[in-house]
Amino acid sequence: MPQIPESVVGLDPVLRAQLADYARRHPEHADLADEFSTLLDDPENPFLRSRLTGHFTGSAWLVSADGDRVLLTHHRKLDRWLQLGGHADGERDLAKMALTEAVEESGLTGLVLEDGELFDIDRHWIPERKDVPGHWHYDARYVVRALGSEAFVVSEESLALAWREVADVANAAIETPDGDDSLPRMAKRWLAR
């Protein structure tokens, strides 16, 4: 087993604490939270997309002010409906990064990070595309609330954006062609809060 460089040990105490808290609140994901924590100790920076064995991403469960709707993107590259988000690209504060991605991908102003705690985590496979081989995304998801106008602007990363009723998403009334259950899981978790 490779030695973890001393410069890496002790980094990211906030994310480590968030993962521990998440595992306590969601014991069914404790093993996955452990995988995320282990990734933090990798000597190859897991916050860079160039780490093709797997890297961190951050996403926003972007809800309306009243909490009844969630803004989803029809992702251009993956051709499926997802929550907003993206690559860390070196940013180690994944909550801040998720908020930034939500602003950039929606064009909305008045977005606020709800509480900074992890709302969900997910590890999913990204298929090979052009010159980028298939790889794993370790996605940290945070609640972001839209307190201003809900008039979004579709970015170049999306085919479309749409506000969807959280109850509809919870009932899987949204396309999940590869069987991904994370959108309905997050919707059910949101409704049960």
Pick from 83, 78, 87: nearest CA to 187: 83
The rounded distance, in Å, linking the Cα atoms of 152 and 172 is 23
Of all residues in the chain, what percent carry a pLDDT higher than 90? 73
pLDDT higher than 50, residue 8? no
The rounded distance, in Å, linking the Cα atoms of 140 and 150 is 24
Cβ atoms of 33 and 22 closer than 8 Å = yes
Q: Which pLDDT tens digit goes with each residue over 113-172?
A: 998 899 999 999 888 888 889 999 999 999 999 999 999 988 888 889 999 999 999 997
Per-residue pLDDT at 37: 95
Q: Which helix (H) or strand (E) holds 128?
A: none
DSSP state letter for 132: B
Structural domains of the chain, ranges and CATH numbers in brackets:
13-124+136-192 (3.90.79.10)
* Cα–Cα distances in angstroms (integers) from residue 144 to residues 48, 54, 72, in the given order: 23, 25, 12
* CA torsion through residues 125, 89, 93, 5, sign: positive
Of all residues in the chain, what percent carry a pLDDT higher than 70? 90
**For residue 175, what are the contacts with CB-CB under 8 A and spacing of at least 6?**
80, 81
pLDDT higher than 60, residue 4? no
Per-residue pLDDT at 141: 97
Phi, psi of 38 (to 5 degrees): -65, -40
Q: How confident is the model at residue 79 (pLDDT cuts 50, 70, 90)?
A: confident
Phi, psi of 107 (to 5 degrees): 70, 5
The rounded distance, in Å, linking the Cα atoms of 73 and 79 is 10
Helix 30-40 with 13-25: angle, nearest 10 deg: 170
Q: Of residues 55 and 6, which shows the higher confidence score?
A: 55
